[in-house]
Amino acid sequence: MESTRIPTATAPHGDRDVADGDDQRADLLQSVGFDSCAPGEHRGRHTTEPQAPQRGGDEQSGARTAADEHREHPGPHQSREQIERFHQTLKRWLTARPRATTLPQLQAQLDAFRDHYNHHRPHRAAGGKTPAAAYAASPKALPATPREGHFRLRYDPVGTNGKMILRRAAHMHHLGIGYQHRSKRILALSDDTTVTVIHLDTGEILSEHHIDPTRSYWRNQLTPPGRWPQK
């Protein structure tokens, strides 16, 4: 039996039947990551409820692996219901618009929905406010003791010679982190007086350096002065 599905990029409007239009919309939604199943249906990896093993046939057909459990239970039941309601709202909104026949057209509709949902559509759970207005009115997390001054973050590997180069005020400075730390991935935190170097993988503080604009080399203050590291 010949398939009635038509190519996504060339599907025209007009007197195509409803089944063709539904298949076309399903292809477009699935291509951008949305499952086009009806509410209550589950398909493939998108299922959110465990399925009973089939009777008869191969015994392994009903076997469940840890990966299956993780895939089918992405979060608490309440979270899944919220996601499903959001998808239903999106599908109803798309259904009320002309069918998109290309990915750019579908993306334009999704962008319009995002703007409408966040900035124009009142939300009952937010007291009739839009999500954007509710977010703007909510208190934001701030540091307990705000600090003033210059701060800088830098991600870099330590050089093979155990040093890194830091540019400050148009001058290059060499930081002696330690030969034993060569090639480690680090995060350098700089303020007005100190540079602290942290191992990015373990969180260990590898070195601290006093900022001295008159010197090109800033040694590690956590180790005693000397050419070789102490055992």
Instruction: Please report the pLDDT score of residue 20 as a whole number.
Output: 57
Measured distance CA(155)–CA(184) in Å, rounded: 11
Same domain, 30 and 112: yes
Same domain, 27 and 83: yes
End-to-end CA gap in the chain? 79
Same domain, 163 and 120: no
Same domain, 203 and 96: no
Same domain, 5 and 116: yes
Same domain, 119 and 157: no
Same domain, 129 and 191: no
Helix, coil or strand: residue 8: coil
Residue 145 covered by a domain? no
Q: How far is CA 150 from the centre of its chain?
A: 29
Q: What order of strands is seen across the sheet that includes strand 194-199? A: 152-157, 185-190, 194-199, 205-210
Measured distance CA(76)–CA(83) in Å, rounded: 11
Same domain, 82 and 130: yes
Residue 59 covered by a domain? no
Residue 7 covered by a domain? yes
> Structure pTM?
0.38
- As beta bridge partners, residue 205 has 198
**pLDDT (tens place) for every residue of the chain, 231 residues total:** 444 444 444 444 444 444 555 666 666 666 555 554 554 444 444 444 445 545 444 444 444 554 454 455 555 566 778 788 888 989 998 999 999 999 999 999 999 999 998 999 888 877 888 989 888 888 777 777 766 777 889 999 999 999 999 988 888 999 999 989 999 999 999 988 999 999 998 899 999 999 999 999 999 999 888 765 554
Same domain, 156 and 200: yes
Q: Which domain holds residue 160?
A: 152-218
DSSP 114-183: HHHHHHTS--GGGTT--HHHHHHHS-----SS---S--EEEEEEPPTTSEEEEEETTEEEEEE--GGGTT
Same domain, 26 and 77: yes
Residue 213 covered by a domain? yes
Total domain count, the chain:
2
Residue 144 covered by a domain? no
Same domain, 16 and 82: yes
Same domain, 117 and 170: no
Residue 183 covered by a domain? yes
Residue 67 covered by a domain? no
Q: Pick from 106, 17, 15, 98: which is nearest to 4 by CA?
A: 17
Residue 202 covered by a domain? yes
Measured distance CA(168)–CA(205) in Å, rounded: 21
